[in-house]
A = this chain, B = another copy of it.
């Protein structure tokens, strides 16, 4: 049997991030103000480091990864590419299945790839403190880790109900020295206002974003950080796809189809953008974003300008959206509960370059357990979406006899999601189709200008 793990030495780690904007057939639509006027990039410098704003709008194909960032990446990168021999055998498929395992980072997901870069550029810009919001805690813990690595203070506004019900990711952030504040809080104007109305307000991701942005906007020494959606975040994640290309070259293989879970788009961009140029050059490769049926942004949403957050603080972005007032059902893949999607991913999907599919919650947990039982690793519920799609494809190959090469991103481990597995195993989880009526009604709430 061939090797399970395909490894790269630290010296083989990519030296540059890949900027897909350089190779897009059409340039990205601009970010707009609520009145429809274009937003100058400099306006974003109120809360983001200048280098990150520059990356947000850059059309340079290759952007150098600073040595200081590479040095931190090397604590866990390059991450392994793994041939899922045991899963293949279990399925009896002629397909080859590879997965890129991002759960080896100290925070347990791909998120630190951007957190480390964001912390570094803020450090260089003289910033002393970072704020962010977190729900389940994947992004909050990544920025806590990254801030610690560069000596920055980190304050994480954590949705109060998560703060109380999910203490372990909170402890993880605190172990790395971050301050974790249940939101809404008394630290901000928006928090105080909500608490005055209802001292027991359980919080929401929208409220936590408002608090984190308000604090960053009001303090010169403090900037805000975001873990997905924005161009520069997807840029940093392209190290995933680039490493994967090198690893597949080592074994003389190339994917026929790639699956990645899709919430805000950081996994899709990170794995797939580095394969886009091949596709443009005529290579026969399918790039498939996998989202939950409960949050079918790409497969059922509207392609329209909308706010990136739920309260209307961000610029308007042209993207697939279920409406910024979208109330996500409480599925267990918390990282995929987002009303919109990255503008880059949305545009490439609109143009037919990326594909998308939706899978149901029960099917994703079933796939995750099959994976754990064959390959050992217990995946994050978000990652189970990609696994589910990969297994479906492998089963199709069994029917047709095709020995395709299937690749997916295993974006993180599920060590902090065992309560969700517990509920699934006890029969307490349900499927949820986001209602057609709600999708239709969202049209009424999209910004008009």
Contact = CB atoms under 8 A, between A and B. Distances in A.
B7 A168 contact: no
Interface stretch (A210-218, A315-323, A413-421): A413-421
A99 to B, nearest CB: 12
A376 B422 CA distance: 28
Interface string A369-388: 10011011110000000000
Nearest to A74: B4
A177 interface: yes
B106 A376 contact: yes
Contacts of A148: 373
A71 interface: yes
A145 interface: yes
Contact of A106 (B3, B71, B377): B377
A187 interface: no
Interface string A166-182: 01111110111100000
A375 B75 contact: yes
Contacts of A9: 3, 7
A421 B5 CA distance: 32
A76 interface: yes
B106 A378 contact: yes
A51 interface: no
Contacts of A421: 171-172, 174-175
A298 to B, nearest CB: 29
Contacts of A377: 106
A104 B105 CA distance: 11
B418 A172 contact: yes
A10 interface: yes
Interface residues of A, number: 46
A362 interface: no
B372 A4 contact: no
A143 to B, nearest CB: 13
A177 B422 CA distance: 12
A4 B171 contact: no
Interface in A78-111: 86, 104-108
A63 to B, nearest CB: 23
A185 B145 CA distance: 43
A223 to B, nearest CB: 21
Contact of A416 (B10, B106, B177, B415): B415
A419 B175 CA distance: 11
A1 B177 contact: no
A372 B176 contact: yes
B74 A422 contact: no
Given A373-B148, A373-B176, A376-B145, A415 B1 contact: no
Contact of A175 (B71, B149, B372): B372
28 contacts: A1-B71, A3-B10, A3-B11, A4-B10, A5-B10, A5-B74, A7-B7, A104-B104, A106-B372, A106-B375, A108-B415, A145-B376, A167-B419, A168-B415, A168-B418, A168-B419, A168-B422, A169-B418, A170-B422, A171-B418, A171-B421, A171-B422, A172-B418, A174-B421, A175-B378, A175-B418, A177-B373, A415-B416
Given A104-B104, A174-B425, 13 more contacts: A3-B74, A4-B75, A5-B74, A7-B9, A106-B372, A106-B378, A167-B419, A168-B418, A168-B419, A168-B422, A171-B421, A175-B421, A413-B415
